[in-house]
């Protein structure tokens, strides 16, 4: 179930463009390391042959084709929907250069906890991407639990990111993915 066809999109213009009947889509829709990027990753449709390019699979497709994909050279990514578990594929996680966690609605915070598990418990060190309804006011929280890239199609959020206008609270009362503990008062805090 491709969210967007990245390959054809990347061939188009860099600016936002409207698809008939669809939302605005952007070629450079991935925010990473402080800027928007044209993204090489392609979502594999169910049942379609995998392109010889970095491809993001569903968990079900990975489980079905795991053995066959062992020989594949091009990078693989994994897309997880709310409620999908990773304990049964823990040993496979190292195979993925990217894991995309879906926020079907911005108020659905399931992925915040799965991100923590991936980073802390499973020591996943690849790219962790927030996809779906990714909005400005959630991005600081996403960063703190371990996301390092964001697929952003919401126009005000894109502007806020591009213009550095996301107002956030830089003081944190809890250690998360983003910092080691400090000594002194409140030892459960990240370094500050």
Q: Does 138 bind another protein (CB under 8 A)?
A: yes
Which residue number, 35 or 168, has a Cβ lying nearer to another protein? 168
Which residue number, 7 or 106, has a Cβ lying nearer to another protein? 106
Given candidates 75, 116, 122, 126, which one binds another protein under the rule CB under 8 A? Answer: 116
How many residues sit in the footprint of another protein (CB under 8 A)?
A: 38
Q: Which residues, numbered 52-111, are part of the site for another protein (CB under 8 A)?
A: 82, 106-110
DSSP class of 116: H
Given candidates 25, 81, 126, 141, which one binds another protein under the rule CB under 8 A? Answer: 141
Q: Does 150 bind another protein (CB under 8 A)?
A: no
List of residues 6+ apart from 56 with CB closer than 8 A: 41, 42, 43, 44, 76, 77, 78, 79, 98, 100
Give me the half-sphere count of Cα atoms (radius 13 Å) on the Cβ side of residue 72.
20
Given candidates 3, 93, 97, 135, which one binds another protein under the rule CB under 8 A? Answer: 135
Q: Does 122 bind another protein (CB under 8 A)?
A: no
- For residue 75, how far is the Cα from the chain centroid? 15
15, 44, 61 from 27: Cα distances, Å: 7, 17, 26
- For residue 38, how far is the Cα from the chain centroid? 15
Which residue number, 38 or 154, has a Cβ lying nearer to another protein? 154
Q: What is the DSSP string of 58-90?
A: EHHHHHHHTTGGGG--S-EEEEE-TT---GGGG
Q: Does 12 bind another protein (CB under 8 A)?
A: no
Structure tokens at 130: 């927030």
- The number of residues in the chain equals 192
Q: Does 137 bind another protein (CB under 8 A)?
A: yes
Q: Does 164 bind another protein (CB under 8 A)?
A: no
Pairwise CA distance, residues 143 & 55, whole Å: 23
Q: Does 174 bind another protein (CB under 8 A)?
A: yes
Given candidates 22, 52, 163, 188, which one binds another protein under the rule CB under 8 A? Answer: 188
Binding region for another protein (CB under 8 A): 82, 106-110, 112-114, 116-117, 120-121, 135, 137-138, 140-142, 144-145, 156, 167-176, 181, 185-188, 192
């Amino acid at each position: 179930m491709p969210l967007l066809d990245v390959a054809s999109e990347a061939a188009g213009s860099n600016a936002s463009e409207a698809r008939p009947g669809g939302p605005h889509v952007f070629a450079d829709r991935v925010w990473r390391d402080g800027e928007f990027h044209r993204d090489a990753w392609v979502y594999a449709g169910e049942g379609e042959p995998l392109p010889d390019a970095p491809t993001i699979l569903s968990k079900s497709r990975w489980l079905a084709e795991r053995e066959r994909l062992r020989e594949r050279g091009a990078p693989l990514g994994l897309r997880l929907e709310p409620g999908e578990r990773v304990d049964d594929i823990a040993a496979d996680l190292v195979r993925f250069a990217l894991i995309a966690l879906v926020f079907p609605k911005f108020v659905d915070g399931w992925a915040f906890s799965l991100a923590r598990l991936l980073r802390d418990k499973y020591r996943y060190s690849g790219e962790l991407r927030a996809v779906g309804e990714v909005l400005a006011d959630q991005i600081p929280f996403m960063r703190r639990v371990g996301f390092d890239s964001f697929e952003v199609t919401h126009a005000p959020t894109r502007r806020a990111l591009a213009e550095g206008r996301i107002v956030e609270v830089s003081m944190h009362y809890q250690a998360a993915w983003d910092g080691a503990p400090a000594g002194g008062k409140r030892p459960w805090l990240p370094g500050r």
